[in-house]
Structure 1
Amino acid sequence: MTEEMTQGGLNRRMFMAGTAAVAASVALWPKEMRAQAAGRKFAASLGWTTYDSGRHLQDGFNAAVAELGGELTMTDAGFDARVQSDQIDSLVATKPEALFITPADAVAIAPAVERAIAAGIPVFCADSAVPGAIVTTTAMSNNFGMGQYSCEYICKALNGKGKIARVMLPQNESWDQRTLGMEWTLRRYPEVEIVTEWAFALAGNVSPRQAVDNILTSHPDVDAIWCAWDGAAVEGTLAARAAGRNDLILTGIDGGSQAFNYIAADTPLKLSMAQSFYEMAYLDVFYAHELLAGRNTPRLISTPTYAVTKDMLQDGIPDNFDVPGEAEKMGWSRAL
């Protein structure tokens, strides 16, 4: 079920009966309400549109606006917080009825988000929360839980004993929660030792591939590498192949066809915590319409995450698993 917290602070479980409930709710909207929504003016400031995650977020926003009504102006900051802040200010000047944001660096763009709210524009965030900003709705994954789950997978695969490395993603407060979840899991596995680590920096000169190359050179006996996102896990898999380490275990977080292909091919990448990016974006648009229609909206939504392993990909590589209802058709159950 989708877990939510209302703006009044009350927990609300089972508000939507499974992920298909969003689509079902849309079907129940009166035709006159859809006609009224057709003239809505929306804007979206995306922190990035690259990778499977960015593409699925973009697809979710576009599909929701097309289905629910309205017009959408969209910008892409390319992971540059300064650019995104400027783009938010520019979008606010156009006076949209709602603003959708996917923050690449939530702390850095917080002042721009607060300026949007102060201008009277309701803000809806996807993938990450913006600290200090009272946005209307944030739809995101359980980042702490994803870090826990993927680390647990490694610890069990090593039978509770071994040497691991980690590639972290501290750029965003929400993403950094994955590392905290990983650390919490390790408290129960005292014989699993972190022998080295590397923190990715968007403005840095070292790529994840180079980082994992260095890890395998300095620690050739490492058993597994926990990665805070799939991009690092994929590049780490290439490094493992180059080093002849097909026995290495890597895990990632994000989901999407690129990571799924590596998992299905029985490479060192064994697990991806697949997030529902499409659904995050769709929910933002859905609740923007709800707000504008005078109805209550949830403050926080925890969207489904699927722990994808090779056995789940035997029938092919899905690209629409995060469209509401599609994962269930494939027999997938949410892990978080």
Structure 2
Amino acid sequence: MKRKWLGIVLSFTMAASLMTGCSNSDSTAGSNSAASQAGNNSSGSAASQADSGSADAPESAVSSGAEASAPADADFDPSSLKVCICIGEVENEAGIKIQQAYEDMVEKYGFTDVTMVDAKYDAVVQSEQIESCIQTKPDVIFIHPADPTGISEAVSHVIDAGIPVFCNEGSVTGLEDKLTSQCRTDNYSQGYATMTYLAEAMGGKGKVGMCYLDSNANWHERDLGALAALENYPDIEVVQEWFWDSTGVFTPRMAVDDMITACPNVGDLDAVWSAWDGGALEGIQAAKAAGRTELLFAGTDGGPEACQQILDGDQFLCSGGPMLYNQVVTLVDNAMLYLQGEDIPQCVWSPNVLLTKEGRENASSLLEDGEALENWDLPGYAEKWGLTISPTIEH
């Protein structure tokens, strides 16, 4: 366990260094939302928001870093572009949403020569896919990193080849300032917000178990944010810890089973914070099986199953929702502007929505025909439904 904690300390130092290339120190909280920069259209599909032939400049986003621009092209025709899209994984709800967003943007701009691949969480596979894309000499490559460190060499080859490269949700270790542009989830603030909500629900005291995502540098920032939030609650003690097993051999359900076994009595363990919704969802299964219905849970991702659990039950309190769909909309819109010679931000920080039972109930009361709660991160919905935008925490 000591070695793992040392890893967290070292990763915090690395994360602080990483932020210098895409700093959120200029970010503002609250009203700056990816929904506003992508357009306040609540029709449900990015493809319906703009003409397929051109991109309107997005409104000001939470952005920082140098601007990038390409030579102007008066005869710009997006339908003639060769486009590669490398997605880290589509095996979970977040990945499915990212894939859907890219598919909608392909339709919006009329791309016809498109390669879209799924790495299934594997950085080696994604690196090979990126190298294969380079050989096709595309006009642009979009990457959702499977592992920001594991793909860095392959992405450096993209940059060396002079191909514009755009990343969504995360960055690439060591290349943060060399990417053409990136639209990133503020994972640190996400972890901070969910832990703060959980701690307040605990009355500021008690014992908590932690499910970390330390094997991925981008996701690990959620862990660091949660731990930073706990510093504000000296009467909350971390009594159990589990670090995600990327092999899948040891599951979150098994981890929370072990936590409950180690803390068999009410009061031995009051809550479990998870860096992703899957850990919380499986943890609730373990708690119910053990008759520990008093245990509280918090997660991150804002997927449909988690949101339904938050709305229907009383154990899953909140989930930090990254605006993944909006990120892709922003990223592709910016890429089209860049290819037309326009200046674009080198980094855009995408805000998060704190999804709670109160917020979900309010959103449910505002639904109109054809709208669905799982579409909360489509352009305009978060603002329309009055969902809470998590503040950006400087770090």
TM > 0.5: yes
User: What's 2:61 paired with?
Assistant: none
Cα distance in 2, alignment partners of residues 40 and 77 from structure 1: 23
Question: What is residue 292 of structure 1 aligned with on the other side?
Answer: 339
Deviation at 1:93, TM superposition (A): 1.0
The structure 1 residue matched to 2:224, chosen from 162, 171, 180, is 180
Show the 5 A alignment for 1:191-230: 191-220=235-264, 221-230=268-277
Q: Does 1:322 align with 2:377?
A: yes
TM-score of the two chains, using structure 1 as the length reference: 0.91
State the one-letter code of the partner of 1:173: A
Query: What per-residue deviation string (whole Å, max 9, x for no partner) do you get for residues 87-129 of structure 1?
Result: 1111111111111111121101111111111111111111111
C-alpha change, 1:41 and 1:16, in structure 2 (3 Å) is farther
Quick one: distance in 2 between partners of 1:110 and 1:46?
A: 15
Aligned to 1:64: 105
Q: Give matches, 1:149-164, under 5 Å.
A: 149-164=193-208
- Contact 1:34/1:69 (CA < 8 Å) preserved in 2? no
Q: Distance in 1 between matches of 2:334 and 2:55?
A: 16
Residues in 2 aligned to 1:205 and 1:13: alpha-carbon distance in whole angstroms: 41
Q: Which runs of 5+ in 1 are unaligned?
A: none
Q: Do structure 1's residue 106 and structure 2's residue 106 form an aligned pair?
A: no
2: CA distance, partners of 1:211 / 1:186: 21
| Count of matched residue pairs | 332
Report which stretch shifted further, 215-224 or 21-30: 21-30
Conserved? CA contact 1:280–1:303, under 8 Å: yes
Distance 1:89 1:95 in 2: 10
Q: Which has the higher contact order (CA 8 A, sep 6+)?
A: 2
Give the whole-Å Cα distance in 2 for the aligned partners of 1:40 and 1:218: 57
Tell me the equivalent position of 2:82. Answer: 41
Aligned 8 A contact 1:276 1:304 in 2: yes
Partner of 1:236: 283
Show the counterpart of 1:166: 210
CA drift at 1:69: 3.5
Matched, 1:144 2:144: no
TM-score scaled to structure 2, two decimals?
A: 0.78
Counterpart contact for 2:32–2:351, Cα < 8 Å: no
SS in 1 for 2:173: coil
Which amino acid in 2 is paired with 1:103?
Answer: P
| Secondary structure of 2:389's aligned partner | coil
What is the CA distance between 1:70 and its match in structure 2?
A: 2.1
Equivalent of 2:359 in 298, 308, 312? 312
1:39 touches 1:70 (CA, 8 Å); kept in 2? yes
The amino acid that maps onto 1:320 is N
**Shift of the alpha carbon at 1:304?**
2.5
* Counterpart contact for 1:213–1:239, Cα < 8 Å: yes
Tell me if structure 1 keeps the 8 A contact 2:253–2:282. Answer: yes
Deviation of the 1:203 alpha carbon: 2.0
Post-superposition offset of 1:319: 1.9
* 1:319 counterpart SS class: helix
Equivalent in the alignment of 1:76: 118
Q: Which runs of 5+ in 2 are unaligned?
A: 1-19, 41-48, 57-72
Identity of aligned residues (%): 34
